[in-house]
Amino acid sequence: MNELTINLKTDVKTPLYEQIYAYIKTDIQNGKIPYGEKLPSTRALSRHLEVSRSTVELAYEQLLSEGYVESEPCRGYFVAQIEELYRLKRSRNPAQSPEMPRKIYRFDFTPNGVDLNSFPYNVWRKLSRETLLDGQTELFRTGDSKGEYGFRNAICNYLYQARGVECTPDQVIIGAGNDYMLMLLSSVLGRKHTLAFEDPTYMQAYRLFCCLSYETVPVPMDKSGMEVKALADTDADIAYVTPSHQYPTGIVMPIRRRQELLRWADGAEGRYIIEDDYDSEFRYKGKPIPALQGYDVHEKVIYTGTFSKSIAPAIRMGYMVLPKPILELYTEKCRFLNSTVSKVDQLILQRFIENGYYERHLNKTRALYKSRHDTLLNCLKETKIKCSISGENAGVHLLLHFSDVEEAVLLEKAAQRGIKVYGLSEYFVGDRKEKEEQMRKKEAVILLGYANMGEQKIQEAVKLLKEAWE
């Protein structure tokens, strides 16, 4: 009994049976209680430790369920034979592990920013209450694998009115963000495809398809977007494009180039275009450019969109409009998959769209970003930073073009002043050394995002950039 003299602590939250279990388990792991050793009876140990018999029984039952001890009828509990124990050793409590140091910037011109202060908290709270009251138990049943029909129908109506996209609710698939939608699409399409990407491009999509073991090819761009002639010279049968507002250059693909791209897709069986329409809502001159999908008469465009930019990243809701041939493949291969978006969240956003709140929110956000956009442009002109500007008519970032200076120098000088800016070279997918050399010979291009920066901060940051880059 001496070897099981356990110092039980009554002033801690850990139950007594867990303390007994942990002590015996540790002694078995360390070899202090060898294989075949008989443990004290529950009655004897409870008397020895001055605890209830049921407490000891709970400890023994846990040891028994994990395989550390064996029970023999009318004989008692014996240490089980364990050839090798695998134990995770922790040097410290994970909760107490120090956070990895991160460089803190006073100002961050991220091109992926979203103004979270404009999120319609009161409306969202109201719609959440209404949804939960109306749904009752039915609300918590498994929903449609594609997403709730009413929500998909609301998206169809919005896309037709705002983007000229023609589709039915059956063609719309709802998923937890753009990354998931592209992974789902890869399951539908299979891996026997070669994807062409604009160069430079949206790196998140590029890295994702590379991770999924797709063959990829970079295609150069001109002032109209992806060069279709260069695309035709590759083995690619799928082209990933952002025609309404190319990321990151901000180029808007004109109708002539769009028609060329559609003719390329129609030129061979199995060719498709993935149209990522990530931020078409934010255009400051004229109306938003109609989606490429609206011109597609041969079912060649796979259209993707998201609410992350227009509402909030944490919403984690994206959608995909599949042409009918791809929809048939989806039905064949993936219809068994459950929706990755909460049914409750879908119904809240459905009401948000149908009741006109989404349109009002977009108008408010568009006006807010336009004000910051104008502030940034005016500050750049007033400070007379020696650069030319492009991509200023849409989106939430613009580009500064510098001659006779290396990109790395501009980044470093900005960082020294506590300002995070982004170089265009990060978005090229071709040969890295070749692209860096090309950038040095031509010009340096810096991306400045303004969505998550107030006007006063923009003014302060631009003054510091002027000082840094003089």
Q: What is the pLDDT of residues 392-409, one digit of tens each?
A: 887 899 999 998 889 999
| Alpha carbons 213 and 210: distance in angstroms, whole number | 5
Alpha helices (H) in 136-274, listed in sequence order: 149-163, 177-189, 203-211, 228-232, 255-266
Confidence of residue 1 (pLDDT cuts 50, 70, 90): very low
Q: Is 170 exposed, middle or buried (0-12, 13-18, 19+ CB in 10 A)?
A: middle
Higher pLDDT, 92 or 370: 370
Share of the chain above pLDDT 90, in %: 62
CA contacts within 13 A on the Cβ side of 423 = 21
* Beta strands across the sheet bearing 272-276: 172-175, 318-321, 301-306, 272-276, 238-241, 194-199, 215-222, 225-226
Split at pLDDT 50, 70, 90, the class of 186 is very high
Is the CB of residue 320 less than 8 Å from the CB of residue 185?
A: yes
Query: Nearest 5 degrees, angle CA 307-CA 310-CA 313?
Result: 60
Task: Give the whole-angstrom CA distance, residue 401 versus residue 388.
Answer: 5
* CA 325 vs CA 277, 299, 349: distances in Å: 21, 7, 29
Q: What angle (nearest 5°) sits at the alpha carbon of residue 230, between those of residues 226 and 231?
A: 70
Q: Do domains 2-79 and 107-113+364-469 have the same CATH topology?
A: no
CA dihedral 340, 343, 349, 352 (to 10 degrees): 170
Least reliable range by pLDDT among 85-99, 239-253, 270-284, 375-389: 85-99
- Position 152 confidence tier, pLDDT thresholds 50, 70, 90: very high
User: Helices 407-416 and 455-469: crossing angle, nearest 10°?
Assistant: 120
Assign domain 139-359 one CATH number from 3.40.50.620, 3.40.640.10, 2.40.50.100, 3.40.50.1000. 3.40.640.10
Is 60 within 8 Å of 77 (Cβ atoms)? yes
Whose CA is closest to 166, among 296, 279, 327?
296
> pTM here?
0.81
d(CA 154, CA 355): 10
Tell which CATH classification among 3.20.20.330, 1.10.10.10, 1.20.1250.20, 2.60.40.10 matches the domain 2-79.
Answer: 1.10.10.10
Tokens 């944490």 -> residue: 314
pLDDT at residue 27 in the model: 86
Residue 200: cis peptide before it, omega within 30 degrees of 0 = yes
Q: What is the DSSP letter of 345?
A: H
- CA-wise closest residue to 461 among 373, 380, 369: 380
Contact 168, 154 (CB under 8 A): no
Residue 77 host element (H or E): strand 76-79
The separation between CA 93 and the C-alpha centre of its own chain, rounded to angstroms, equals 29
Q: Has residue 352 got a pLDDT over 80?
A: yes
Nearest to 113 by CA among 460, 448, 465, 469: 448
**What are the boundaries of each domain within the chain?**
2-79, 107-113+364-469, 139-359
Please report which confidence band the pLDDT of residue 90 belongs to, taking 50, 70 and 90 as the band edges. low
DSSP 8-state symbol, 213? T
Least confident of 284-293, 389-398, 442-451: 284-293
- Spell out where 187-315 has E strands: 194-199, 215-222, 225-226, 238-241, 272-276, 301-306
More confident site: 137 or 183: 183
Quickly count: other Cβ atoms within 10 Å of residue 191's Cβ. 11
Residue 395 has a pLDDT of 85
Section 30-47 average pLDDT: 88
Choose the weakest-confidence range: 125-129, 287-291, 363-367: 287-291
Predicted confidence (pLDDT) at residue 425 exceeds the cutoff of 50: yes
Whether the predicted pLDDT of 2 surpasses 50: no
Q: What does the pLDDT read at residue 391?
A: 86
Q: Give me 52's structure tokens.
A: 């209830």
Range name among 195-199, 337-341, 461-465 with the lowest pLDDT average: 337-341
- CA Rg, the chain, in Å? 30
| pLDDT tens string 223-280 | 999 999 999 999 999 999 999 999 999 999 999 999 999 999 999 999 999 999 988 8
Q: What is residue 262's three-state secondary structure?
A: helix
Mean pLDDT, residues 432-440 taken together: 59
What's the gap between Cα 41 and its chain centre?
Answer: 55
Q: What is the pLDDT of residues 5-21, one digit of tens each?
A: 788 888 888 898 998 89
Mean pLDDT of the chain: 89
Going by pLDDT thresholds of 50, 70 and 90, the confidence category of residue 91 is low
- The topology (CATH level 3) of 107-113+364-469 is Aspartate Aminotransferase, domain 1 (3.90.1150)
Position 85 scores a pLDDT of 54
